[in-house]
Amino acid sequence: NAGVTQTPKFRVLKTGQSMTLLCAQDMNHEYMYWYRQDPGMGLRLIHYSVGEGTTAKGEVPDGYNVSRLKKQNFLLGLESAAPSQTSVYFCASTEYGGAETEAFFGQGTRLTVV
Amino acid sequence: GEDVEQSLFLSVREGDSSVINCTYTDSSSTYLYWYKQEPGAGLQLLTYIFSNMDMKQDQRLTVLLNKKDKHLSLRIADTQTGDSAIYFCAESKGGGADGLTFGKGTHLIIQP
């Protein structure tokens, strides 16, 4: 059972470079999320999607863009990476948006911007 | 202030009970969760409690909820080395579409 898969697992970028993080889920979940995790902090929501073709801003959306062209994939883009975006990024999905639904997380992408 | 607060570290001896505490501010939260993150891994749901419950027990895990004080705790009985991880408290904001609000996480350290 693959669940939620993130690629790549590690990446080092130079300031100003762009990249896309891919999240794929095979559970037919409607909702998908991108979080960032920084040392000593909880997870903060960047963007989320409530279904194919939809996206919405979370708590810390600046500097990121997302797309959900296919239900199973949720892409997170950095157009011009900054050192402040050095973080561990987690993708998650839920079957639907109810409060009782379990969130399934990917293993994370460790991004360093130098 | 923070929506969800936890202490950052807890150190216990192997075999003892661990109690991880969490306070939250959103009284409309319908579900409260405990997630476990092992080193280098993503978060995994450990247990959750519905807001109309006071307690939930699942094998070595006991969750206590004091809704009046907005206080949630996770007790791990007979703590083992495999319990070493970061434990995140999280609350839902009702609809769930905007995801969960997480605390900063409590790093559980097991002493031999």
Rounded CA separation B44/B27 (Å):
25
How does residue A51 score in pLDDT terms, banded at 50, 70 and 90? very high
Asked whether the predicted pLDDT for residue B59 surpasses 50, the reply is yes
Q: Does A92 touch chain B (CB under 8 A)?
A: yes
- With helix as H, strand as E and coil as C, how does chain B read? CCCEEECCEEEEECCCCEEEEEEECCCCCCEEEEEEECCCCCEEEEEEEECCCCEEEECCEEEEEECCCCEEEEEECCCCHHHCEEEEEEEECCCCCCCEEECCCEEEEEEC
Please report, rounded to a whole number, the percentage of residues in chain A having pLDDT higher than 90.
Answer: 84
Nearest CA in chain A to B28: A99
Looking at the complex, report in whole angstroms how far the Cα of residue A97 sits from the nearest Cα belonging to chain B: 5
Looking at the complex, report in whole angstroms how far the Cα of residue B13 sits from the nearest Cα belonging to chain A: 23
- Report pLDDT for B21: 97
Task: Give pLDDT tens digits for A61-102.
Answer: 999 999 999 999 999 999 999 999 999 999 999 988 766 778
Contact B97 A31 (CB under 8 A): yes
Which pair of tokens denotes residue A41? 């902090």
- Report pLDDT for B95: 54
- Report pLDDT for B1: 47
Task: Give pLDDT tens digits for B80-107.
Answer: 999 999 999 998 865 555 678 899 999 9
Asked whether the predicted pLDDT for residue A2 surpasses 80, the reply is no
Contacts of B99 in chain A (CB under 8 A): 33, 35, 45, 48, 58, 92, 103
- Report pLDDT for B3: 81
Task: Give pLDDT tens digits for B30-56.
Answer: 788 999 999 888 899 999 898 888 899
Contact A100 B31 (CB under 8 A): yes
- Report pLDDT for B94: 59
Nearest CA in chain A to B43: A105
How does residue B71 score in pLDDT terms, banded at 50, 70 and 90? very high
Residue located via tokens 């839920």: A94
Contacts of B42 in chain A (CB under 8 A): 4, 90, 105-108
- The mean pLDDT of chain B is 89
Q: Which of B30, B88, B98 sits opposite A45 (nearest CB)?
A: B98
- Report pLDDT for A7: 96
Q: Which of A94, A101, A107 sits opposite B41 (nearest CB)?
A: A107
Contacts of B91 in chain A (CB under 8 A): none
Cβ distance B68 to B48 under 8 Å? no
Residues 60 through 89 of chain A touching chain B, CB cutoff 8 Å: none
Task: Give pLDDT tens digits for A26-40.
Answer: 999 999 999 999 987
Asked whether the predicted pLDDT for residue B28 surpasses 80, the reply is no
Tell me the one-letter amino acid at B62. Answer: T
Residue located via tokens 């405990």: B34
Nearest CA in chain A to B37: A107
